[in-house]
Homo-oligomer: A and B are copies of this chain.
Amino acid sequence: MIKAIEWVDGKVRILDQTKLPLKEDYLEFTNPHQVAEAIKSMKVRGAPALGVAAAFGIALGAKNSTAKTSDQFIDEIKRVCEEMSQTRPTAANLFWAIQRMKRLVHKSKNLCVEDLKKVLYEEAMEIAREDEEANRRLGALGAALIEDGDNILTHCNTGTLATGGYGTALGVIRAAWNQGKKIHVYVDETRPLLQGSRLTCWELMKEKIPATLITDNMAGFLMSMGEISKVIVGADRIAANGDVANKIGTYTLAVLAKENNVPFYIAAPTPTIDFNIPSGKQIPIEERNPREVTHIFGQQIAPSGISIANPAFDITPHELIEAIITEKGIVRPPFEINLEKLVRE
């Protein structure tokens, strides 16, 4: 399987997702600044993949350190963590992975520099491994919700490219397909960055899963015609009450699904849940560069000088969500209670 991000021979190798599907360009990074830049410019994206990328960036910082003492080393790692946390504001997994690396450094502060480097490297590898495993487990659990003949709508990209491997919403679809279920996928192109058309279609074609690409504004019409039986999307952050921040357009799909009695599912590993955030209202929404709206692959598509809004995410209130599929189980309302139960068990 293709990997969005991998640790290869002491370097971080990523598939440049801004070039897909026209080019499969791999980039190799030797320092954390390069990783931070790749996150900001969305060469690597997707909440779970961002967790892995942040951990790998910190591991690169550790590897490159010339600190003589553990204290110096720990200060350096804290600065790298700070740099990683300044890349993108919404994805919970990014902050979760940084927190985990920080906590480990703190816990290991009595180790020598060489041993600190080793434990940070191992933790980063573990974060990547765990994410792929969580994806496979939530895929298998979620596949039980899928039936023969389902027409599943998905948004953005939640596949191998968005994760440590396998995928979340696309992992559920992949698992159902591998179980022999006869399904068909509708893919929202997902403007402005077209992760649906560029990335999800590319992944589905590689797996030969039947798929039809649509523009974002067609999903409602297809639902009104009875053409869509389920909606499954990923999440960038899930608040304690079950409100979900996800790629812009997700809220619209949830409202359309409710209007047309189509079940609307979220698929995400538990590190996407942020219990420090009581509701969606407190989740910071990233506003990105206007050029993402006015230009496509460098081609200008709007008049020069027009004002632009470009929120990268929106908030779907928990009332619109049928269930949240995680690696620890499928959570149903009341989410406030059942999400906490899930991670406590």
Q: Which residue numbers of A lie inside 8 Å of B, CB to CB?
A: 21-22, 186, 188-192, 194, 197-198, 201-202, 205, 210-222, 224, 248-249, 251-252, 255-256, 258-259, 293-294, 296-297, 299-303, 305-311, 314-315
Contact = CB atoms under 8 A, between A and B. Distances in A.
14 contacts: A22-B300, A191-B217, A197-B294, A205-B305, A213-B302, A214-B308, A214-B310, A215-B248, A216-B217, A217-B252, A220-B252, A221-B252, A221-B315, A224-B314
Nearest to A203: B303
A218 B309 contact: yes
A21 B294 CA distance: 12
B248 A217 contact: yes
Nearest to A192: B215
Given A213-B293, A311-B218, A21 B249 contact: no
A301 to B, nearest CB: 6
B303 A201 contact: yes
B251 A224 contact: yes
A216 B213 contact: no
A195 to B, nearest CB: 11
Nearest to A194: B301
Nearest to A320: B259
Contacts of A294: 197, 213
A24 to B, nearest CB: 11
A310 B222 CA distance: 11
Say what secondary structure dominates the interface of chain A: mixed
A293 B189 contact: yes
Contacts of A205: 303, 305-306
A155 B205 CA distance: 32
Which of A194, A213, A259 has the most C-beta atoms of chain B within 10 angstroms of its own C-beta? A213
A288 to B, nearest CB: 11
A252 B256 contact: yes
B314 A213 contact: no
Contact of A213 (B210, B224, B306): B306
A221 B189 contact: no
A211 to B, nearest CB: 7
Given A214-B293, A217-B248, A220-B255, 14 more contacts: A189-B191, A197-B293, A198-B302, A205-B306, A212-B308, A213-B302, A213-B306, A216-B216, A217-B217, A218-B314, A220-B314, A221-B314, A221-B315, A296-B296
Given A251-B220, A301-B297, A212 B21 contact: no
A268 to B, nearest CB: 19
Contact of A211 (B188, B189, B198, B306): B306
